[in-house]
Chains A and B, each alone.
Chain A
Amino acid sequence: MRKTLIAVGVASVLALAGCGGGSEPAKTEAPAQKPAAAASAPADDANAATVTGKVAFTGEKPSPKTLSMEATPACARAHSTPAKSEEVIVNGNGTLSNTLVWVKAGLPAKEWPTPSTAVKLDQKGCVYSPHVIAVMANQNIEVTNSDPTNHNIHPLPKTNREWNESQPPNGEAKMKQFPREEIMIPVKCNVHPWMRSYVSVVGHPFFAVTGDDGSFSIKGLPPGDYTIEAVHEKYGAKEMKVTVGAKESKAVDFSFAG
């Protein structure tokens, strides 16, 4: 089994190396935050509808927890003040960052084209940046290490294949994909146990991740009845139903309580 895996791995590397000279490298999307990161919308539907909204936060704003990076001096040195956990980020306008909003149900059964651009997941200051990303199934994720220290990238999916790979300081970017839809896959670094990120893999392009204004916009939807779900790593998931007609734009607001 191990030999087979090694053989497949070597073959994959050789295949990638062979392709490298003749094709363009995958393009990289800007970090999917600030404000909201949206998937690329299909442009072939003149009647496309839009769902917009925001994810509000009610209750007492939690104070972010301090990360202890003393175990790796290079990590501690990267921050002038102690780094904080990004588990819950409440924006100045009372909204919630890092919330995935996606169309959970209602879309027609069809193959949606996978974007050729890669979504970047960087390790900088010994934290994952962005903290939450979303991609389409089989879309490239470009994992980079901007730190002067080793990291290991270790996603913990339930339905996709688990992997764990090291990445040296300023090492080559890794291109990774997840073939199956799976929401909020935790990604950790076992070298630095405070590092945590979440990758959502969606089977279609209708999703967004809220940024520092807590808003989202899902464009290019075919008219229809949809279930929209907002998912946050700490506060869980909430669903709302919405019906959109041709060229219509509707607002759907979510609210999570602390």
Chain B
Amino acid sequence: MSNVWLHRYSVILAICTLFLVVAGGLVTSNDAGLSVPDWPLSYGKLMPVMEGGIFYEHGHRMVATTVGFLTIILAVWLWRVENRGWMRRLGVGTLAAVIAQGLLGGMTVIYMLPKPVSISHACLAQLFFSTTVCIALFTSASWLCGPHVAADSGTPALRALVIAAPLCVFIQLALGASARHKFLGVLPHIAGAAVATGVVLWVTLSVLMRHAGHDVLRKSAVALLSITFLQVFLGIAAYMSRIATIDAPQPMPLMVGFTVAHVATGALTLAASVVLAIQVRRNVA
């Protein structure tokens, strides 16, 4: 039976998590990651003077703390009311993920942005957001109504093909994080964009051509396709704005805006690809 408040709460958590991704992106783009040299307190306080880079770094910590508390409540709520054992375990796993994410964030400060830790922090943020979106999906009334199974007649089998989209998108996000934290250059990320976009096109068009009449599948595929197009545009804009402001003495708002939008839309792309994969595997025989 649907628990409408649990679902609404899950949606709120997902929205807060997307906002957290934006806040994290602002920290990196404004080069403010080490503007607060201590952790978990900021300048030894719960609330430092919010100026310059401190606004972004401590603001990110405040949003992260809020998301952490919201996740604790969600995990407890799921544990108490959910009949599905795997959902209770997913709640616990989500809580573990947000704790790990907080510790990774602390390590980036204490060890002064070691690249593997910073990249892991960025990647786990994307995975965590997708997980919150999945919980919102799994608690929705439409999910609890059960699947509308359709037969798949095409080749390759859609149930196998659809897995490629989130895999490629996640690898692409990791390449983006690696470029952002200067572990790799931007070329692997640009090459990855072509591959990931191609795979998303292949998957979504396959779904649309084979199951255009299936409401859930069509909407999921159109959502992924639309977000991916937006993401490609934002990627080009972020790159061009970075080139245009490369000699600037400080991060410029144009570059920061496009880059953070690109990061946030990346999170949406991964979540949309995960949702499509889940829906296809649930609704396609």
Interface residues of A, Cβ cutoff 8 Å to B? 2, 65, 67-68, 71-75, 85, 87, 149-150, 152, 154, 162, 164-166, 168, 188-194, 196
Contact = CB atoms under 8 A, between A and B. Distances in A.
Interface of B: 30-38, 43, 48-49, 51-55, 57, 110, 112, 247-251
Contacts of B35: 152, 189-191
A152 B34 contact: yes
Nearest to A166: B37
Contacts of A165: 37
Contact of B31 (A68, A85, A168, A190): A190
By secondary structure, the A interface counts as loop
Given A2-B110, A166-B43, A65 B54 contact: no
Given A150-B52, A152-B37, A166-B38, 7 more contacts: A72-B51, A74-B51, A150-B43, A152-B35, A164-B37, A193-B31, A194-B250
B53 A191 contact: yes
Contacts of A65: 247-249
B250 A150 contact: no
A190 B33 contact: yes
Given A150-B43, A152-B37, A166-B37, A193 B248 contact: no
Contacts of B55: 71
A182 B39 CA distance: 30
A192 B52 contact: yes
B32 A150 contact: no
A164 B54 contact: no
Which of B34, B38, B112 has the most chain A CB atoms inside 10 A of its CB?
A: B34
Contacts of A2: 110
B51 A193 contact: no
A150 B43 CA distance: 10
B34 A193 contact: no
